[in-house]
Amino acid sequence: MALCVLALLVGVVGCDKSQPVVALPDLPVEQRQANAKQGAEAVGAATASGDYAAVVDATYPPVIQLAGGRERMLKTMSGPAAQSADQEFKITGTTMGDVKQEVKDGSRFYAVINGRMRMTGPRGVLLSSIQTLGISEDGGRTWKYIAVVNPDDVRRVIPTLSASLELRKQGPPTFFASE
C-alpha cells in the first residue's frame, strides 16, 4: 500500500511539468573550487579505506554506465581480481591539491585537480601523481569525478570536453624501497 501511495505521489508531484525549472546561480569561484577539492579528497579517502560504494557514487554517471552499471562497477572494484592485484600494494592515502584549472562550458563546470597517491607494500612505497576531473552541473554545488589515467579515454566519455583543459596521461609511479 505504501509503495502505491509513493508511486502516486511521484506521479502527481514529481512529474508536474507546470512548474518552471529554475536554474540556481553559479557559486563564487572560491566556493566552487573548494567544493570540487573537498569532493575529490573524499573520493581519495574512500578509495584508501576500500569504501568502493562511495567511490562509485561520486563517479561521473556515464563512466558508471560504461562499466556496466553501479553493481557491476562495484563488483569489479572489490572482486577477486581487484583483491589479488591489491595484495602486493595497497592504497594507503591520497593528497589532492587545489583546483589547477576550471572551465565553464554551457551549464557545466569542469575542474582539473592534481594530487598524489601513496601505495605501500612489503618491500616499499609507491608514490604516483594523479589527476582527477570534476564535473558540476549545478553551479559548483556538487561534483562527480573521473580519474584521468589517459586523457583520450576521458574525451571519449565527454566528446564535447573543452580542448583548453590541460589533462595529462598518468605516468609510472616512483618506488621507494623499505630500509
Q: How far apart are CA 101 and CA 33, in angstroms?
A: 9
- How many structural domains are present in the chain? 1
Q: What is the pLDDT of residues 136-176, one digit of tens each?
A: 999 999 999 999 999 999 999 999 999 999 999 999 999 99
CATH number at residue 104: 3.10.450
Tell me the pTM. 0.83
Cβ-contact 143, 36 below 8 angstroms: yes
Is residue 154, in this structure, part of any structural domain at all?
yes
Q: What is the pLDDT of residues 104-118, one digit of tens each?
A: 999 999 999 999 999
- Res 102 pLDDT > 70: yes
Structural Rg of the chain based on CA atoms:
19
Is residue 134, in this structure, part of any structural domain at all?
yes
Of the two residues 56 and 122, the one the predictor is more confident about is 56
Is residue 95, in this structure, part of any structural domain at all?
yes
Is residue 18, in this structure, part of any structural domain at all?
no
Is residue 96, in this structure, part of any structural domain at all?
yes
Q: How far apart are CA 75 and CA 67, in angstroms?
A: 10
What burial letters (b/e) apply to 50-87, b meaning 16+ CB within 10 Å?
bebeebbebbbeebbeebeeeeebbbebbeeeeeeeee
Q: How far apart are CA 132 and CA 137, in angstroms?
A: 16
Alpha helices in the chain (DSSP H): 2-9, 29-49, 52-57, 61-66, 70-78, 80-86, 151-157
Is residue 5, in this structure, part of any structural domain at all?
no
- Res 120 pLDDT > 80: yes
Cβ-contact 174, 127 below 8 angstroms: yes
Q: How far apart are CA 82 and CA 94, in angstroms?
A: 19
Is residue 100, in this structure, part of any structural domain at all?
yes
Is residue 153, in this structure, part of any structural domain at all?
yes
Give the structural domain span for 72: 27-177
